A = this chain, B = another copy of it.
Amino acid sequence: MKTRLAASAFALLASGAVAQDLETTIPSSVGAVAPALQNHLNEDIFDGVWNDEALSMRDRALVTFAALMTRHEVNNIESHVALALDAGVTPAEISETITHLAFYTGMGNAIAAAEATAPVFEARGITADDLPPVDPELLPLNEEAEAAREETVQSNYANVSPGVVDTTREILFLDLWLRPDLEPRDRSLVTVAALIAAGQPEQMTFHLNRAMDNGLTQEEAGAMLSHLAFYAGWPRVFSAMPVAKEVFESRAE
């Protein structure tokens, strides 16, 4: 049954541009050095996990992009931006993801991702008009949640680093998270993916809860873990699993 589902999903996939894009992410040297790896890429990843309907192909493209950016896999980003666009991620969403993850994985990763993205945007005629403005009208703030967050951070860290406390509030939670061109659910999705890829499960509880508050389902979160195992390595995912388990269980209570 499971095999049949996967096969039928692949029929859909194979008819589109994404399947071709996936092939282009592998240089020919892989087959020359590690035929078994080439086979895994084709069977388990491209014809496998990408077709598991528990997470949409569009979400998988976004999650993969977040992981590659976090891991500073500069050479793999260009092909995956093309793939993401073909899978239905908009140019505005790519742009916002880069800006968002600048803060969640460091400016250098964002600068490198922008450089790798620019030729794809240029080739497809994507211009500033297609991208989010510097100062859009912001989404409404959940004032109660923000007050709780600020209270926790203030009481813990006001004396440790007032700079961190201030910039976290002003730049991240009163601005970045309220920008409308990446849905809060997607913002959370790429944040959690980045935390898993970076090996920071200790920062995941807050963001996975926020992701699920923002609409990510438990099935999707579980499928993201399975997807990221291939791109960030099994150990990163196994370190994230106990945190996911705890979050899922605490929300079921």
Contact = CB atoms under 8 A, between A and B. Distances in A.
Nearest to A229: B164
A103 B195 CA distance: 18
The size bracket of the interface on A is 35 or more
Contacts of A214: none
A106 interface: yes
The 4 A-B residue pairs with the shortest CB-CB distance in the complex, in nearest-first order: A163-B226, A29-B118, A161-B222, A33-B114
A13 interface: no
A174 interface: no
Nearest to A38: B134
15 contacts: A33-B118, A34-B98, A34-B131, A36-B95, A103-B230, A106-B232, A156-B241, A160-B222, A161-B226, A161-B241, A164-B229, A164-B241, A168-B234, A172-B234, A202-B239
Contacts of A52: 163
Interface in A120-151: 121-122, 128, 131-134
B36 A235 contact: no
B203 A128 contact: no
Given A160-B248, A203-B239, 4 more contacts: A33-B98, A34-B96, A159-B248, A161-B223
Interface string A212-231: 00000000011101110111
A16 interface: no
Contacts of A71: 72, 106, 108
Given A108-B76, A156-B241, A234 B103 contact: yes
B198 A235 contact: yes
Given A115-B27, A115-B29, A225 B134 contact: no
Contacts of A35: 95, 128, 131-134
Interface string A147-183: 0000000001101111110011001100000010000
